[in-house]
Structure 1
Amino acid sequence: MKDNIDNTQIDTNGIEKEDITVVDPQMARKAVFAAGVGNAMEWFDFGIYSYLAVTMGKVFFPNMTGTSQLVYTFATFAIAFLVRPFGGMFFGMLGDRLGRKKVLSITLIIMALATLSIGLIPSYDSIGVTATVLLLIARLVQGFSTGGEYSGAMTFIAESTADKKRGFMSSGLEVGTLVGYIAGAGLVTLLTFIIGDEKMLAWGWRIPFLIAAPIGFIGLYLRAHLEETPAFKAMEEEQAEERDHVSMKDIFLYHRKSLLIAVAIVMFYNIVYYMVLSYMPSHLSAVLGYGDTKGLLLILIVMFIMIPIVLAMGYFSDRIGIKRILIAALIGLLVLSIPAFKLIGNGNNLLVFSGLMILAVLLAAFQGTMPSLLPSLFFTDVRYGSLAITYNISASLFGGTTPLIISWLIKETSNRTMPAFYMMAACLIGIIVVALFVEETSGKALRGSPPAVEGKSEVHEAYKESKDEIWWEEEKQEIERKMEESPQ
């Protein structure tokens, strides 16, 4: 929501007071809630496959056994990530043209229907290899939808909140992700406990997929009643007459540095993310020999505890800065990954839980900061598209393949600490990128937007801080200069 401030305009090279966006706190909270709930629905749909990985392997790959069966199951998991970049390109560019709200509604519908279809596929025993092919098609549709979902939700929340609270408010998106995963894990755990492994394998695995459609339409209802983000509306008003849509070619030509930084950040984030939340339940059961219910229950408890930690990380990022939190978490993983996996492989319930919590707390530091950091890397007119492209390319290369690669490494080496080494390598790269190439943006305006404040009383202070030149102006001028010099 943008209010006009009744002050005399001052001729400066920076902004004028009437340009400052005054965000309605109630609308901002509504945006966070709706995006977070929709994201929870989306990741419930996407996450239940992870938590049913062992069962799905038996249903669709019955000729395989042990870790080989798990490798094939996670190959099916990873294949959805192959189309995520294409979904990101399609929905991202569409979101920069039509708006964030419309595209987020479309992605939610597609995901709900694709997940529902998985629950309707006959087993391998019924129709043979056709069942596996149908599963792959449904997973590809899920991946295409997810390509536009998470980056769009990040963009929507970041553009709907005041600068000084962007870290805390954006962390609500990851709370939604955890709630979705918790709902998926909780449902699978409860079903397994009630009906037992045998009935779960026969027909119980279908239930989580079959309830996806009604859950998805709840999220759709919430998103349909949102307003477009203030940043996007302001850009449309400013460029109403002469606006030319930025092409994908322009993004790769003139925003290359931000693209590369985002790819590297998403790389280490996704490796840790999918290691802890997607791969770990199967590691506990298939590799370490825990029962399916016990492994899922441990992860479920860990995720519940992570929720307040994620919010705390978002809160402190607004006060001490995103970079400090990220670098501390990366160093923590570099030092503690091996001890954590040693504890997880110990067999003692308390020690296993302690090892999981070490990884979970450090992952929570990423989850509390990424939803505000990543959108700040790009200008408003290319934010959704650029973020969708980079996030999904990196997630496809490094995130979705993590369970598959780790399963294969353990199978080939018989070393149960291989996940720790893989994670440490990613975090070492992350430390270099964050320390040298990421600018601190906590409390600052988003690239391409004037400052966003929570009330009219804050306008004067925001104006004083940016009246000469807003922080991204020089970077914007350099991009415009390159575009003018480039042959058409």
Structure 2
Amino acid sequence: MPASPAHARPGRRKTIVATTIGNALEFFDFTVYGFLALTIGKLFFPTFNSYGQLLLTVASFGVGFIMRPLGGIVIGAYADRAGRKKAMTLTIFLMALGCLLIAGAPTYAQIGVAAPLLIVLARLIQGFSAGGEVGASTTLLVEHATPQNRGYMASWQFASQGLGILLGAVVVGLLSFTLSPQAMESWGWRVPFVLGLVIAPVGMYIRRHLEESLEIPAPPPAGTKRESSLSEVCRLHGRTVLNAILTLIGGTAAAYVVSFYMPTYAIRELGMAPPVALFGAAITGLLSFACAPFVGLWADKVGRKPLILWSRIALAVMIYPGFYWLNASPTPAVLFTVVGLLSITLVIQSVPGITMLPEMFPKHVRVSGMSLVYSVGVALFGGFSPFISTWLVNATGNKLAPAWYLLGMTLVSLVGLYSLKDHTGQDIDRAARPAA
């Protein structure tokens, strides 16, 4: 972990720690579902064949992302009105609620079709929570930064995602290694969700002691109507929103395939053992957590757009050869190498990307604007990437199909990047700042 910049006050270090811990808990709760896709498919969709079980499980993983735009809009508006801290406490409570429903859900054998419906409900609640979490937490980090270290501060949001993925992969991997398949299907799959539920109160307690970064606006005079934050974002910053969503699709599609679909791909398509495949996912989380702060410092020096552009080009060049090599030589060493290289390019583009989002909007609608962009982009092209990849492999019979999907998304995203303004080193809170 790099040292905090010299001008970062102790309050900023406290903000980093509190935000990182809480966000890591959220992403742990949200992502372990993806790592348990094969087991959950057997227990909750048993009337289908193995392909149908997998397809429905990754689809229910994607269902959580359907609610992200709504969560981003509702919780984003709440954060812009009541404060970032209250919004972040709310999101971790909702994530814990979804975790509780999954941890205690009866299987299909016990209650029939109501079992998968309960799982879908839990994923919808978690998706709603995640839709507001990223915008509120990233904005809080950025607003505790100076113009010279916003990239470093925002990098901890992405680092915390990596930490959550790392913890989720390690826990599920250890369970898969130590338990028999029968024990794993009987009760072992519930353990990660119980752990997430138990530690959620810790995150809520920490977040209540954060320093608020928003000066709560006074209520409007009687008889006047305040324009909603969503309406203002769309009216004044509509073009920015569209270009930002377009820019986001390349990185988010690749992130969800590499981080969440790759373990399932390695097990189902390449015949690898579950602990080996999950160790590959742990590598992604570890690299994201370890490298993100350094990339944030780098982005503060050279700007956001150059890092996004060149790392995305590198990703486009590496995707197909990586999948080809993995299928030609499906060994753990090759899996770890391919996942590691793709993960590094993801970190280099994702940290400046997530920093740019709150920089595009004025403070009084900042969470709403960022949440809208992030949740819509991730909902459309992130959460359903595992589903699309699974369907493409089956429909085409080509195990390299996910590589072509990622290549297309990566190249299309460069169009939106060209139109965005880079605010590196600028005061994003100056009065009457024009739309990005």
TM-score by length of 2: 0.93
* 1:311 matched residue in structure 2: 293
- How far 1:246 moved relative to its partner? 4.0
- How far 1:382 moved relative to its partner? 1.1
CA 1:104–1:311 in structure 2 vs 1: closer, same or farther (change >3 Å)? same
* 1:259 matched residue in structure 2: 241
Indicate yes or no: 2:315 matched with 1:333: yes
Q: Structure 1: how far apart are the matches of 2:65 and 2:46? A: 24
Indicate yes or no: 2:376 matched with 1:388: no
Instruction: Name the SS for the 1:378 alignment partner.
Output: coil
Q: Structure 1: how far apart are the matches of 2:225 and 2:361? A: 18
Q: Structure 1: how far apart are the matches of 2:315 and 2:221? A: 47
Indicate yes or no: 2:423 matched with 1:441: yes
* 1:353 matched residue in structure 2: 336
Matches within 5 A, 1:63-462: 63-229=47-213, 232-233=214-215, 236=217, 244=226, 246-345=228-327, 346-434=329-417, 436-446=418-428, 449-450=429-430
Checking the alignment, whether the CA contact within 8 Å between 2:283 and 2:340 is kept in structure 1 is no
Residue-by-residue CA offset, 1:279-321 (whole Å, 9 max, x unaligned): 1111111121111111001221343233322222111101111
Indicate yes or no: 2:29 matched with 1:25: no
Instruction: Name the SS for the 1:76 alignment partner.
Output: helix
Instruction: Name the SS for the 1:163 alignment partner.
Output: coil
CA 1:350–1:247 in structure 2 vs 1: closer, same or farther (change >3 Å)? closer
Checking the alignment, whether the CA contact within 8 Å between 1:264 and 1:433 is kept in structure 2 is yes
Residue-by-residue CA offset, 1:146-188 (whole Å, 9 max, x unaligned): 1111111111111111111111121111111111111111111
- How far 1:64 moved relative to its partner? 2.3
Q: Structure 2: how far apart are the matches of 1:142 and 1:354? A: 32
Instruction: Name the SS for the 2:183 alignment partner.
Output: helix
- How far 1:269 moved relative to its partner? 2.1
| Letter matched to residue 322 of structure 1 | R
* 2:3 matched residue in structure 1: none
4+ runs of 1 displaced by more than 3 Å?
Answer: 239-247
- How far 1:51 moved relative to its partner? 0.6
Taking only the aligned residue pairs, the percentage that are identical comes to 31
* 1:6 matched residue in structure 2: none
Checking the alignment, whether the CA contact within 8 Å between 2:63 and 2:123 is kept in structure 1 is yes
* 2:4 matched residue in structure 1: none
CA 1:240–1:361 in structure 2 vs 1: closer, same or farther (change >3 Å)? farther
Checking the alignment, whether the CA contact within 8 Å between 1:88 and 1:147 is kept in structure 2 is yes
Checking the alignment, whether the CA contact within 8 Å between 1:378 and 1:386 is kept in structure 2 is yes
Checking the alignment, whether the CA contact within 8 Å between 2:276 and 2:332 is kept in structure 1 is no
* 2:34 matched residue in structure 1: 50
Q: Structure 1: how far apart are the matches of 2:139 and 2:364? A: 11
Unaligned stretches of 5+ residues in structure 1: 1-22, 451-469, 480-488
Q: Structure 2: how far apart are the matches of 1:267 and 1:92? A: 21
Checking the alignment, whether the CA contact within 8 Å between 1:327 and 1:431 is kept in structure 2 is yes
> How many residues of Structure 1 are paired with residues of Structure 2 in the alignment?
428
- How far 1:433 moved relative to its partner? 1.9
- How far 1:236 moved relative to its partner? 4.0
Residue-by-residue CA offset, 1:312-369 (whole Å, 9 max, x unaligned): 2111101111111000111111111101111222213322222112211111112322
CA 1:298–1:219 in structure 2 vs 1: closer, same or farther (change >3 Å)? same
Checking the alignment, whether the CA contact within 8 Å between 2:160 and 2:289 is kept in structure 1 is no
Q: Structure 2: how far apart are the matches of 1:303 and 1:46? A: 14
| Letter matched to residue 267 of structure 1 | I
Instruction: Name the SS for the 2:180 alignment partner.
Output: helix
Q: Structure 2: how far apart are the matches of 1:344 and 1:56? A: 26
Instruction: Name the SS for the 2:367 alignment partner.
Output: helix
- How far 1:240 moved relative to its partner? 11
| Letter matched to residue 380 of structure 1 | K
- How far 1:244 moved relative to its partner? 4.2
Checking the alignment, whether the CA contact within 8 Å between 1:60 and 1:123 is kept in structure 2 is yes
- How far 1:445 moved relative to its partner? 1.7
TM-score by length of 1: 0.84
Checking the alignment, whether the CA contact within 8 Å between 1:67 and 1:286 is kept in structure 2 is no
Q: Structure 2: how far apart are the matches of 1:55 and 1:403? A: 16
Q: Structure 2: how far apart are the matches of 1:414 and 1:24? A: 53
Q: Which stretch shows the higher mean deviation, 98-107 or 264-273?
A: 264-273
| Letter matched to residue 379 of structure 1 | P
Checking the alignment, whether the CA contact within 8 Å between 1:114 and 1:138 is kept in structure 2 is yes
Checking the alignment, whether the CA contact within 8 Å between 2:158 and 2:288 is kept in structure 1 is no
